[in-house]
Amino acid sequence: MFKKILVANRGEIAVRVIRACKELGIRSVAVHSEVDKDTLHVRLADEHLCIGPPDPALSYRNIPNILSAAEITACDAIHPGYGFLAENAHFAEVCESIGIKFIGPTSENIGTMGDKAKARDIMSRHGLPVLPGSEGEITSEQEAAEVAAKIGYPVIIKASAGGGGRGMRVVNKEDELAHAFEAARAEANAAFGNQSVYVERYFLEPRHIEVQILADERGRTIYLGERDCSVQRRYQKLIEETPSPAVDDRLRRELGRVAVEAAQAVRYRNAGTVEFLLDKERRFYFMEMNTRIQVEHPITEEVTGIDLVKEQIRIATGQPLSWKQQDVKMIGHSIECRINAECPDTFAPCAGLITRCQMPGGPGVRVDTAIEPGSEITPHYDSLIAKLIVHGLTREEALARMRRALDECVVEGIKTTIPLHRRILDDPDFQKGRFSTAFLERFSSPPPAG
């Protein structure tokens, strides 16, 4: 087992990883930027050091300072959390080369899956269901038009290096294609420094279903059920739940089998998530694989009882998986609401000082957060401030718990998504489990221009 782990992140996920370290008897080192000096993850860790100014490019994404911090504190492993350096193949590679274990997949896994067009191609060649679309990258408008004509409109143009909804353009008919192709390429180039794009069939009201997998260093791979992340706006997830109201046991086993095959196709290691799109006829298609622990991982932990972060650490030490597939049992229903520091109507980030903060508790309620009264939400980082997670024996019980937890939850001084969550929980379609990725459109005012 590792002796000391550097946690290369901040906020709730840094706290989450430090908690896992404590339970495993491993010392933890927190790193922080100048503005995060007095935050929870810094206080909870055994050691801490400042790695740079507030700008994340100079602190949480500053590879030399983070590796140097690991070296001077004699850490034998680094947990990247999510975001920042979590899916940076170069960082994982440098860690490997200097003998510091990167707790996550191999740099090769990250590189392969980070190129969405390539990943799609590999899955297709392994006979896994992918969305109808281009074979790899497309380089000209004419090529895009040919693919679109073949698979039928509407289509979506996506950045190969993409994520978070950037570098994506939906094209409804052929005369929109030229503009969309150029726009997607320009946006991809601006956001990722890579203008490579690919084309896929666009489904109007699909569900976003993802499958959690774990693979040990010997390649033994299991799946831990699905998460329904259809409630999203502008491709940012807001509410996740497991099991999905749209997935029955048979479909779950099928999704799980395909997710495990996808992971094995690239000799995947550690925790990962295979994302699928589920259409109205309940056909599913591989979209991409996320090579990190995900924000919404707690709902899987709640229903399986498996601590994914501790399992990541155990796997990274070379231990075999603690569970066989048949030992994984999903009990009850879990839902997560992401509390973001943002205006609930326009989704504009809202920075400021948290004057009052009272988190819910009681049966079946878990809160993963790093905020407290007096915390200052700065504009430098992600707007996620807390994750409200509930677990109930049934979906109805989980929904009632989430409503109760949202009512107990008080955050003052900044605007949050709490009021929006209350409205969603009151929506009859949501209560019945009838929603798609288009669901949230009815709750939002038009996004600000640009």
Partner 1 sequence: MRREGTGVPSPPVEVSVPVSAAGLAVAPTDAPTAEPSTEGLVTVRSPIVGTFYRSASPYADVYVEEGSYVKKGQVLCIVEAMKLMNEIESDIDGRVAKILMENAKPVEYGEPLFLIEPGAQPEG
Show which residues are catalytic: 292
- The yes or no reply on residue 72 touching partner 1 (CB under 8 A) is yes
Count, residues near partner 1 per rule CB under 8 A: 31
| DSSP codes joined into one string, 43-67 | HHSSEEEEEE-SSGGGTTT-HHHHH
Out of 35, 151, 170, 351, the residue judged to bind partner 1 by CB under 8 A: 35
Between residues 64 and 305, which has the closer beta carbon with respect to partner 1? 64
User: According to the binding rule CB under 8 A, does residue 15 interact with partner 1?
Assistant: no
Strand order across the beta sheet in which 77-79 lies: 47-52, 27-33, 4-7, 77-79, 101-102
Site mask for partner 1 (CB under 8 A), range 252-271, x = bound = --------------------
Q: Which of residues 227-246 bind partner 1 (CB under 8 A)?
A: none
Q: Which of 14, 20, 69, 180 binds partner 1 (CB under 8 A)?
A: 69
Query: Does 55 help bind partner 1 (rule: CB under 8 A)?
Result: yes
Q: Does 414 bind partner 1 (CB under 8 A)?
A: no
In whole angstroms, what is the distance from residue 50 CA to residue 363 CA?
Answer: 38
332 binds partner 1 (CB under 8 A): no
CA–CA distance, 359 with 371 (Å, rounded to integer): 10
52 counts as binding partner 1 under rule CB under 8 A: yes
CA distance 136 to 50: 42
**Token digits for 194?**
């890579």
Size of the chain, expressed as the number of residues it contains: 450
Tokens, residue 423: 């409205």
Residues 275-314 interacting with partner 1 (rule: CB under 8 A): none
Q: Does 56 bind partner 1 (CB under 8 A)?
A: no
Neighbour-count burial for 328-364, b at 16+ CB within 10 Å, e otherwise? bebebbbbbbbbbbbbbeebebbeeebeebebbeeeb
Site string for partner 1, 365-384 (x = CB under 8 A): ---------xxx-x------
The token pair that represents 429 in the structure block: 């379609």
Smallest gap from Cβ 369 to partner 1, in A, equals: 14
Helix 107-114 / helix 89-97 crossing angle, nearest 10 deg: 170
In the complex with partner 1, which residue's Cβ is closer, 85 or 131?
85
| Residue from 4, 19, 24, 49 in contact with partner 1 (CB under 8 A) | 49
Shortest separation between residue 80's beta carbon and partner 1, angstroms: 17
End-to-end CA distance of the chain: 49
Residue 422 carries which side chain, given as an amino acid letter? R
The residues that touch partner 1, with contacts defined as CB under 8 A, are: 34-39, 47-55, 58-59, 64-69, 71-73, 98, 374-376, 378
